[in-house]
Amino acid sequence: MCGVALLFFSLLVLSDAIATRKIGVNYGRLGNNLPSAYQSIETLRSMRAGSVKLYDANPEILTLLARTNIHVSIMVTNDEIISIAANQTTANKWVEDNVLRYYPDTMIRTILVGNEVLSSSSDAAKQIWNHLVPAMRRIKISLRAQDIRNIKVGTPLAMDTLQTTFPPSNGTFRPDISTSVMVPLLNFLNSSKSYFFIDVYPYFPWSADPINISLNFALLQSNIKYTDPGTGLVYTNLLDQMLDSVVFAMTKLGYPNVRLSIAETGWPNAGDFEEAGANIKNAATYNRNLVRKMAGSNPTGTPARPGAFIPTFIFALYDENRKTGPGTERHWGLLHPNGTSMYQIDLTGKRASSDYEPLPPAHNNAPYKGKLWCIAAPGVNLTELERALTFACNQGNGTCDSLTPGKECYEPLSVAWHASYAFSSYWAEFRSQGANCYFNGLALQTNRNPSELHDFK
């Protein structure tokens, strides 16, 4: 059975001419300081990216990508899914507007329906769950009606679609989606010879458990070998473990042959104080090793699928300063927002490690143990800062009691000082519930007590 499965994969790889063997890049645009679309496409060409993944179907970008020989992945946004699922005419119009207008000059090769749709469990999100596969079917019908056979339809999912991932042979999808969503999704992907697109980040499981998971194991450069007790398969890196957990989860539902594509992966080049391991050295190391593993004519695959080609997109082209959440959210870029390289990387995988310039040393690979405060960022808009101050103070629990006239923290009387006190107080109170030191870009972390900083005196 195992030999038959491996032969099946070999035939699929040989027959699937639409998948470039070159590494792809995610082109996110959640920043107010990024280069133009024209500059970005020229940069992708100079980087020799084989493909680019967009988070919409931006007309300017799709026009600029014409005749570039870059394979393109476009996206149906989450808020379009229900209407497309409900009406074939709507699906036809979407394909007409976002595919036919540019294809074939622009080498659109993938349409992704939604983005991590199954990661949210709100009532509104759950409504989308049941419309996901019907929307994918309608998009596929529209493509076939135009006799377009070389565009795959899929949906990118996060690792949180799995209930268990370790050991890999225990990989199992969440029970709330397993039968209702995953079975019809896998049936569609299998019958259409598409890919299971997965967003997979070894950084997150490593950073959550750096004591028990080796950093080098996560960075694809370990000599450690882990043997899965259920299968006897030997793993030398965390990425392969995560990917194979998806393989085994699909197999448990009766779909052992659906191919994988990595829709997002990468490593943060910076982050907040408590986000250990987020630095340029680790980011460069992971992404360089990733390229060597995934690019080229002799892919290594995974222990469960040795030799299988896995189309891969690195996240992301740029650091994006408008992304919310902890600091790492804004620091996944291969490039600075001004378009310069964060570190040297050859997306073809041909450059030897010894040919790269030395990387800056990593100083934050161990968990941070010191005190932290959340303060107002310098140079921000004071009107916006006042609004954020009001928000923090209105959350209750005495967040800003010490800022009232006559109290110990009322002076110095400045918006920056009051906001810094309020931000730190709010963060201390709600951090355990997921609050972060961001406040729409108005705040930043410091390991110095704000009362000792001259800016507030």
* Residues acting as catalytic residues: 116, 264
Give, rounded to a whole angstrom, the gap between the first and last alpha carbons of the chain.
73
Half-sphere exposure of residue 3, counting CA atoms within 13 Å on the CB side? 0
Contact 291, 22 (CB under 8 A): no
Contact 43, 35 (CB under 8 A): yes
Question: Residue 26, SS3?
Answer: strand
Query: Tell me, what amino acid is at 333?
Result: G
Contact 89, 142 (CB under 8 A): no
Q: Where is 25: in which H helix or E strand?
A: strand 24-26
Contact 320, 334 (CB under 8 A): no
- Comparing CA positions, the residue from 284, 281, 285 lying closest to residue 361 is 281
Give the Cα separation of 241 and 169 in Å (integer).
9
Give the Cα separation of 65 and 103 in Å (integer).
10
Contact 56, 95 (CB under 8 A): no
CB within 8 Å of 277: residues ≥ 6 apart: 203, 206, 207, 210, 215, 362, 364, 365
Our CA dihedral for 191, 193, 194, 200, rounded to 10 degrees, sits at 100
Give the Cα separation of 37 and 61 in Å (integer).
6
